[in-house]
A and B are shown apart, each in its own frame.
Chain A
Amino acid sequence: MVVKLLYFASLREQVGSSGESLDLPLGVASVATLREHLIARGGVWQSALAGNRALRVAVNQDLAVATTAIKEGDEVAFFPPVTGG
C-alpha cells in the first residue's frame, strides 16, 4: 500500500527530505513498524529515527502512538517535540 510521508523541522534537515510517497511492504501497517522500516534504510535514517530519540508522529494530522494503524493513502508525519508559542 502507498502512503504519504512528511518530515518536519530538525528531522527534515537530518534526513534531507520534506516528504515522499512510499509503497510499504506487507506487514508494515502501524506507526511502530513504519518507523522500523525507515530505520532499516540505515545511514541518516537510522540516526534520525532511532528508537531512543523522542519523536512525535501524526496520522492524517492527528497525533498518533506506536500502535496506531496505517492504511492505504494515509498521511503520516514524523517530527520532533514541538516548540511553538
Chain B
Amino acid sequence: MSGQSDVRVQTEDFDAGAEMAAMRRGDPKIGAVAAFIGLVRDVNDGSAVRSMTLEHYPGMTERALEGIVTEAKGRFRIEHARVIHRVGELQPTDQIVLVITAGGHRGDAFAACEFIMDFLKTQAPLWKKEQTVDGTRWVEARGSDDQAAARWEPRQA
C-alpha cells in the first residue's frame, strides 16, 4: 500500500494486521512495529452505552492528524506512522482508532505511538456522542487527557 496517506478518516472498519504488514513490507530498516487500537466500550461514566456517533470536521481533522504525525516523525526515530480514525455510528466492541508506528527499535516506536494518541485525543477535531439507556449525551473532554499531552516537552526549535 505504498503511496497511501499516513492519515485516513473513514466510516469503514480497518484490519490492523493488514495495515501493519503493508507499512513494513519490503523495508529491512524496520525492527520494531508498535500499534494502538481504541475500541468502543459498553459502559462509560456509569451508563450502559448502546452506540456511539463520531463527528469530525472534514478537512481539518485530516490536517490536524497529519500535523501530529509530522511532529512525531520529527521527535522520534521512526520510519513510518499511520493513523486511521473512524467516524459515524459505532457499536460496543467496534474499533475506533488505529495508530501504527515503525522504526529501527522499540523505544521510539512505543513513544511515538503514545505521543500520537495523546495529541490526537486533545488536538484533533473529533467528537463522541453516546446513545445510552439514560438518553443521548456528548462525551465531555477529560482533564487527564490534557495532562497526558502536557507530559511531552515542547520540542526545541
Contacts and interface: CB of A to CB of B under 8 A. Distances in A.
Interface string A58-85: 1001110000000000000101111111
B67 to A, nearest CB: 9
Nearest to A81: B141
**On chain B, which size bracket covers the interface?**
20 to 34
Contacts of A81: 122, 140-141
A58 B61 CA distance: 11
Nearest to B87: A84
Interface in B102-157: 117, 120-129, 138-141
Instruction: Tell me the interface secondary structure of chain B in the complex.
Output: mixed
Interface core residue of B55, B120, B127, B139 (most chain A CB under 10 Å): B127
A83 B96 CA distance: 12
A21 interface: no
Interface residues of A, number: 18
A85 B121 contact: yes
20 contacts: A9-B55, A10-B138, A54-B141, A61-B59, A61-B63, A77-B60, A82-B121, A83-B126, A83-B127, A83-B128, A83-B138, A83-B141, A84-B121, A84-B125, A85-B85, A85-B97, A85-B120, A85-B121, A85-B124, A85-B126
Closest 3 CB pairs of A and B: A84-B126, A81-B141, A9-B127
Given A79-B125, A82-B125, A85-B124, 7 more contacts: A61-B63, A77-B57, A77-B60, A80-B127, A82-B127, A82-B141, A84-B97
